[in-house]
Amino acid sequence: KAGVTQTPRYLIKTRGQQVTLSCSPISGHRSVSWYQQTPGQGLQFLFEYFSETQRNKGNFPGRFSGRQFSNSRSEMNVSTLELGDSALYLCASSPGLAAYNEQFFGPGTRLTVL
């Protein structure tokens, strides 16, 4: 079974631009979560989607948004990029409720904002 895939793996953008990251979960998994990892803050939860519905959202500004498609693939968008948005963005998938299921992470997208 293929693992979680994320595209692109690396991105370089400039301040003020916007970016879209993509995540394809493990086949059959319906929940997708997104996390931001930085050296200073560690891993922080962005949002979680299940069956195209956002169920949970972390404490990030409205510039961070996401969506999930009917095939469970998910995208996250960051608008008006700031230098502090430079980070490794990770997505995780699980079959259903995280309370009962292991979460599996993708390799991440490394975003650099200049």
Partner 1 sequence: KQEVTQIPAALSVPEGENLVLNCSFTDSAIYNLQWFRQDPGKGLTSLLLIQSSQREQTSGRLNASLDKSSGRSTLYIAASQPGDSATYLCAVLQGGSEKLVFGKGMKLTVNP
Residues 66-95 that bind partner 1 (CB under 8 A): 90, 92
Residues that contact partner 1, how many (by CB under 8 A)? 27
Given 31, 36, 72, 74, the residue binding partner 1 (CB under 8 A): 31
The residue type found at 14 is T
Residue in 108, 112, 114, 113 with CA at minimum distance from that of residue 9:
108
Give whichever of 17 and 27 is closer to partner 1, judged by the CB atom. 27
Return the biggest CA–CA distance within the chain: 40
d(CA 106, CA 21): 12
Residue 16 beta carbon to partner 1: minimum distance, rounded to whole angstroms:
27
